[in-house]
Chain A
Amino acid sequence: MTTLQMLSTALLSGKVRVVDLTHTLDPDFPVLVLPPEFGQCQPFRVEEVSRYDERGPAWYWRRFSCNEHTGTHFDAPIHWITGKDLPNASVDTIAADAFVRPACVLDFSAEAARDEDFVLTSAHVQAWEEKYGQIEPGHWVLLRTDWSKRSGAAYLNMRDDGAHSPGPDATAIRYLLEERGIVGFGVETIGTDAGQGGHFDPPYPAHHFLHGANRYGLQCLSNLDQLPARGAVLVCPPLKIKHGSGSPLRVLALVEQSDA
């Protein structure tokens, strides 16, 4: 039996389960809010073209519009200035193997529940590795904060001084990139950086270092609580948009059922 035949059997038998890590594209879903002098992220919008009516008697279809960074989305290196000149750095040129990779899930939901401005440091990552083993190269690292369980105003958590949500500092990101060779970093929050990440050094360290290293980001993930710390396989191909800086996408995880 080939490896893929084994996988197919496992998928059909339910031994390997598929978990959807994606939020529904919904006009109400929050988007990143930048200071007003900058261009803004367009929320998801949809308008009906026909619905079995005089506009199209037998069919229902709509047109939608959004930013490349609306909803559950993928960040390509070219999204950030540090990645602007790198090769194969837009969604249409990234090698497709990056979109199907194993994932480690770092559960810091308890810390994020205690501190909405929780900052993940290299020390936190090392502590996790002590418990679950070293993160191997080529993996996605997903930061679980249970932020996806928040809704409405609590999700973006905007206050007068900006958003408040957890995220990594430079030490964590640099450790993952330089010491562990990860392929990308995924989060449940609206950005790979913390809500207050603009005040870090450098500002927005996750964007800065990830994309500067030609690596990728995933944002607005959900259901990370259904994944094991190790062993899941992530499937996350963005839309193949020419020169795309990112794209909304469906993110799936393959998870082996221990008792199946």
Chain B
Amino acid sequence: MSSVGRTRQNYSGVALAAPVTVPYVRYSPKPAHWWIGRALAMLASSAKLKPADIDGMCVSSFTLFPDTAVGLTQHLGLSPRWLDHIPMGGASGVVALRRATRAVQAGDAEIVACVAGDANQVSSFRGMLTSFSRFSQDGAYPYGSGGPNGAFALITRAYMQAYGATREDFGQICVAQRRNAMMTPHALMKKPLSLAEYMDARPIADPVHLFDCVMPCAGAEAFLVMREDRAVELGLPFARVLAAIERHNAYPDDPIQIRGGWGVDRAELWDQAGVAPADVDLLQTYDDYPVISMMQIEDLGFCEKGEAAAFVRGHSLTYDGDFPHNVSGGQLSVGQAGAAGGYLGLVEAIRQLTGETLGARVANAKVAAVSGFGMINYDRGLCSAAALLSEGRRIG
């Protein structure tokens, strides 16, 4: 499945700037339109732009229904010449970055606002689960309606059987992220978490326990994509894109998911970026469940397949450790604001590379790896994506 023939064009000359987060709340009566609109307002304010300056927009949201990105233009008074709507859940951030970067390189848009946001009204999570996909309606929801917890419990179980990972290993990831989250202003979970507390938590869907699960919430994340010269002109700090990949429905013949699509394209990712895993200063994985973070660590090449458990045992995953991972606390501690969960790691990576950090800061962060994973259509996540970013222009 690896690419043949022409090599992929590089992503040079493009700046990722103005990382913003609309602070998360557990429940809110406000609809997705409000969260996305607030994110756009924060982008405009942080980049000192008027709405008319934004001529491209890329939106991800689960709760816009019955609207799409199209309806939002009228809601928000935008008249973009380039518009995209990316329904890829946890892969949305990296995929939006890829789309927007190409649009800017091609001149289809000057300034693209990439935004993801979701509402969380008291009943909206359940509503989303019951109508998530046709396959899940037929093949997953009727079986106990455990939602993602059920599907990831089965995946976690299979992974543990295949590679001998233990709950304690998953706990390393969760405990480290909680420590990172202590400094993140908008993190919803800031009570310190010990490994013992992690282990003692109530079961949700064996072997998944309470602290393996993200907390659904409302919130939004966004960033701007533009030419580097434009960012300089606007005086904005920015990060660069070294390489990026995506893959959907990889390894369809695996009877149960124990790897993601990153493995298919990772050689090209590192080649194009011209860096190696050892050069990465921070890794932002998509952490809806810790098992998925382990798969990303392996499948992106930070260790051999099946050795992520040993890897997390052998490294310190906190922002100040030897392998900074999900340095704002990740979704596991900050919360999962729907599709914004697919942006969280990317937006934080931009912050770390531009110096616009809100909380924890990785010292001398020059290269960041960000990956995304999304859409349990039936029994497995179908979308995987990754990007390698580097420092462009730092703050101050």
Chains A and B directly touch (beta carbon < 8 Å): no
